[in-house]
Structure 1
Amino acid sequence: MTKKMFGLIIIGGMIAIVMAGFVKNNVDKEESYSSKQRGIDMVEVATKEGLNKGDIAPDFELNTLDGKKIRLSELKGKKVIINLWATWCPPCKAEMPHMQNYYEKYATDANVEILAVNLTSLDRGVDKLNEFVKDYGLTFPIPMDEKGVVGEMYQAITIPTSYMIDTKGRIQNKIVGPMDEKMMKEFVSNLD
């Protein structure tokens, strides 16, 4: 290899390094701006929707799987676990037996209601939902979010997502991912 060829390779490598640094710097700035914008939007949405700790939980009314209407605001005075889930979700499947055990053992004495809001608009239909509830022996209310409004309102990006609501209707905790019986008992014991 000649000195001239070696020199050209080194210059080419240096140009590539400078270009890569320039591109990376511009990408980082763009991501930073879009992250800031998303952060601002998220704060505004969270403030409007009441998804911050201590805010009043957004009210909703849904039909339950057994044909009744349920409205969150009518449960004021009770501690409420709002759980957003779907039948196809493996962590939701893992969580449901724990929720049922908690409901059977502690809900009445602890003045707790579980609202397992099925994201019906994203699920496989009411037949699959009925089959799931029967297979898991679920006895707590299953409100159906058929239009996706509650899932969006409560920002259920990852499921399961649960909210712990105190007796005054305020959000005290948001849990993303499955809970077990012990976690539910602990979270509920810290609610007013």
Structure 2
Amino acid sequence: MNKKWFGVLLLAFLIGITGFNLYSDRKDVTEIKNTGMAVNDDVTGIAQGEKAPDFTVKTLDGKEVKLSDYEGKKVFLNFWATWCPPCKAEMPHMQSYYEREPENVEILAINLEESNKKISEFVDQYGLTFPVLMDEDGMVAETYEVYTIPTTYVLNEDGTVHQKIIGPMDESMMNDLMKE
């Protein structure tokens, strides 16, 4: 019985964090619109409206890729780990979304400091076909101030931060984020 209540409380906590994050981000957009402040696309940072910091990481097969390679597309920049239960829960939703989404959207799943073997086994187990990238030294996660996983940054076509999501996403949420 204790495990059941712990699971319920953990789920409620994650939903609360996600809700607070969504509310905070929408409130920021409303405040910007109401004050007439312009968003400066030239500023690099992780706040809403700022240009997401560029980085170079490797794919599972050792190819180097940069975030800037994906400009022109909307991007879900997802930070995760194989041992993370909420990450495991969101991966099927992300894969389903990826399989049917138009070409102007990309999912970049950045694994945090795990071995290539462990990541490859996870990718095979979940049948993932979107790009899985490796943050081998944790520097990308540090730059993006990722303290809780999963954490996802939604980036606009011009590489600016649209929103930050802390906690797992589902396919419906991803659809809604792309409509905004």
- Corresponding position: 1:159 with 2:154: no
Aligned-pair identity (%):
56
| Alignment match of 2:127 (pick from 114, 131, 137) | 137
Structure ID, larger Rg: 1
Distance 1:67 1:188 in 2: 30
Distance 2:145 2:156 in 1: 19
- Corresponding position: 1:174 with 2:164: yes
Deviation above 6 Å: which 4+ runs of structure 1?
Answer: none
**Unmatched 5+ residue regions in structure 2?**
1-42
TM-score by length of 2: 0.74
Report how far residue 67 of structure 1 moved: 2.4
Report how far residue 188 of structure 1 moved: 1.5
2:174 corresponds in structure 1 to 184
- More strand, by proportion: 2
| Alignment match of 2:89 (pick from 81, 94, 110) | 94
| Alignment match of 1:79 (pick from 74, 94, 115) | 74
TM-score by length of 1: 0.69
CA RMSD, Structure 1 to Structure 2 (Å): 1.2
Q: How many residues align?
A: 138
Distance 2:62 2:99 in 1: 22
Distance 1:98 1:87 in 2: 16
Contact 1:49 1:153 in 2 (8 A): no
**Unmatched 5+ residue regions in structure 1?**
1-47
- More helix, by proportion: 1
